[in-house]
Structure 1
């Protein structure tokens, strides 16, 4: 069974020393310094994952400024902003990604204007492109029928039953569904088989924060099917290891707690459809490069942890689970679920949500009133 060494989660903490020139005038900050100062400021009120996302979104702007020899953000003007946007468009960036990058850049420059290191008018010159409604969210998900076939495959084949792939898919589908970081942060002690639930705890000091910090802490009940798989994994395939903080991860690599990237790659490998059916792309599984650890994410039919989560939320809604219950289990607001996760196609919408109300659209025998 392929394993991956755990690597530390990236952190973008930068020590910011006070800067003064003796006259009270704002200093000259280059793009990298301005970005790091802003991130250091927002870290107090933002999740580390949010800070990391902003760091990545601004990475290209910082590098572009350095390539252009822009030594101070005070030298930036509207033409520079236009040139940077053109530079990113020329790289073929998706409109949603460009919108995110420029929106974050606008936030950075608003901060810079507030501390008077750029002109007040500069933030207004950043105009993120409008994203078409159909591109606002990624509808890609692990479909219900694919998930159930994969789960049946793992349960019915002794060679892979209770494997790491089996437990990952089981957690991703039944245990919330959780985000990637929540799966990674689970300890053996967070799993309660007798009471049939798992606990998600926010432990940022030990490298396992939750997306919504302490607000993400919750207990999620598990069906018996999931209990059986987790128990089997612990007994047969879990490595008896501890992480750097002496904790016992539930899902392990040979060296301890796996990195987020390792879990992401494992889920791609877990959901390759060739496990349970002929390759939908006409490839030979024995020679297909997509079954390789480094290429699994490129398979058009494999799915990421986020896409498994999306599929599981849609499945729960199609099964009639109230949206407020789904919201509590998945730790996402009702509005976020409806926009980003709850993605039935129109056939699913008809069959599983609207058809049960069909009898209300008939006439009663008492003069034509609706039933």
Structure 2
């Protein structure tokens, strides 16, 4: 998907020396807000705001609203009704109106609209579960896949790119962009860690910018796989900036879409078990590079990340430690990623506390 154009809004000087608030159109005000966000937000984040906000801008233009200061609470209500009638899901409408509210708060702060206008936006309440994509790579499936690669007698499989990618993703919980950013020199085989570095000028930004930079330790068996991959299977190539990407294609650093396709291919279940969908591997279209994403049981990098975070928490790793490793907050983990089933939660998290739930000589209200 191409990135939206970056706009520079030119505001002419005014006869009174420039003190008057300019009469910006909704589109001009929106473009100015987005440009301001680019200073502190990742381009992918600004892009998502742009696509949510454009519906409001286009609606204003269709309604003949020429300047942003014309907006009223009734306009906000009318726009929400318009979007509801277009069949938006509650979650999509919640996100779109939340973005509109943020935009209007900016407009109110710089006195483009009435200071009370942002309060007129009322995003619909959405159940917590609607915010969560429950599709993830489950721990049992991850274990089976990793054992298939690790125990394979063919070193071309054991030290394959797919194994290196899946092991890195599972044991770091990193985002797609973070995995793609790694260079060979970011992997320290002696101290057993990888280092994530923000390099936006060299096409490897991290989602949270400099705040996303971190060092993540790796288990020894993962390092053994990475060592074998680098020595035997990694393409010895450089990217356009003279860097050596760790997860390399034949042409250099893989694109995001390419890395996503690799992950789908690395997680097809028929690598380690009979096809759960009744297909035969020799004739199954899903084992092809360009078709693996269509397999109902293959998983994207985000779904591997989700499974990894849940698994780390189930293994007893403290939430703050997990948050630091995967570069997010405890709040976001609990809202979006922490997805244990009820049985998992009982087995993995509550079992250790059962011994405390008993009467003994030490407890109770005895004097």
Secondary structure of residue in 2 paired with 1:140: coil
Secondary structure of residue in 2 paired with 1:44: coil
Q: Is the 8 A contact 2:4 2:50 kept in 1?
A: no
Please report how far the alpha carbon of residue 117 of structure 1 lies from its aligned counterpart in structure 2 after TM superposition: 3.8
> Is the deviation greater in 78-87 or in 245-254?
78-87
C-alpha distance 121-369 of structure 1, shift in aligned 2 (>3 A): closer
- Hey, what's the Cα distance between the residues in 1 that align with 2:281 and 2:127? 37
Among residues 162, 173, 179, which one is paired with 1:165 in the alignment? 162
Secondary structure of residue in 2 paired with 1:313: helix
TM-score by length of 1: 0.85
Trace 1:196-211 onto structure 2 (pairs within 5 A). 196-211=192-207
Q: Is the 8 A contact 1:11 1:48 kept in 2?
A: no
Task: Count residues in correspondence.
Answer: 361
Among residues 212, 218, 231, which one is paired with 1:216 in the alignment? 212
C-alpha distance 98-275 of structure 1, shift in aligned 2 (>3 A): farther
Per the alignment, residue 124 of structure 2 pairs with 129
Secondary structure of residue in 1 paired with 2:298: coil
Q: Is the 8 A contact 1:181 1:208 kept in 2?
A: yes
C-alpha distance 291-367 of structure 1, shift in aligned 2 (>3 A): closer
Per the alignment, residue 13 of structure 2 pairs with 20
Q: Is the 8 A contact 2:192 2:217 kept in 1?
A: yes
Per the alignment, residue 336 of structure 1 pairs with 332
> Is the deviation greater in 303-312 or in 328-337?
328-337
Residue by residue over 1:41-87, the C-alpha shift from the partner in whole angstroms, topping out at 9 and shown as x without a partner, is 12223333332332232243344555666554445444554454344
Please report how far the alpha carbon of residue 309 of structure 1 lies from its aligned counterpart in structure 2 after TM superposition: 1.2
In the alignment, is residue 153 of structure 1 matched against residue 151 of structure 2? no
Trace 1:1-371 onto structure 2 (pairs within 5 A). 10=3, 13-23=6-16, 24=18, 25-65=20-60, 71-157=66-152, 158=154, 160-174=157-171, 176-286=172-282, 288-364=284-360, 366=361, 369=364
C-alpha distance 106-369 of structure 1, shift in aligned 2 (>3 A): closer
Secondary structure of residue in 1 paired with 2:249: coil
Please report how far the alpha carbon of residue 359 of structure 1 lies from its aligned counterpart in structure 2 after TM superposition: 2.0
C-alpha distance 335-106 of structure 1, shift in aligned 2 (>3 A): closer
Please report how far the alpha carbon of residue 169 of structure 1 lies from its aligned counterpart in structure 2 after TM superposition: 0.7
Root-mean-square deviation over aligned CA pairs:
2.9
Q: Bigger relative contact order, structure 1 or 2, given CA contacts below 8 A and separation 6+?
A: 1
- Hey, what's the Cα distance between the residues in 1 that align with 2:182 and 2:91? 32
Residue by residue over 1:260-302, the C-alpha shift from the partner in whole angstroms, topping out at 9 and shown as x without a partner, is 2322232223222233223333345455554454554444322
Q: Is the 8 A contact 1:180 1:306 kept in 2?
A: yes
Residue by residue over 1:298-352, the C-alpha shift from the partner in whole angstroms, topping out at 9 and shown as x without a partner, is 4432222122112112112222222232222222222322332222111111112
Residue by residue over 1:95-150, the C-alpha shift from the partner in whole angstroms, topping out at 9 and shown as x without a partner, is 22221111011111222333344454543332211111222322322100010111
Please report how far the alpha carbon of residue 160 of structure 1 lies from its aligned counterpart in structure 2 after TM superposition: 3.1
Q: Is the 8 A contact 1:12 1:52 kept in 2?
A: no
Q: Runs in 1 of length 4+ with deviation above 6 angstroms?
A: none
Listed as ranges, the gaps of 5+ residues in structure 2 are: none
> Is the deviation greater in 355-364 or in 79-88?
79-88
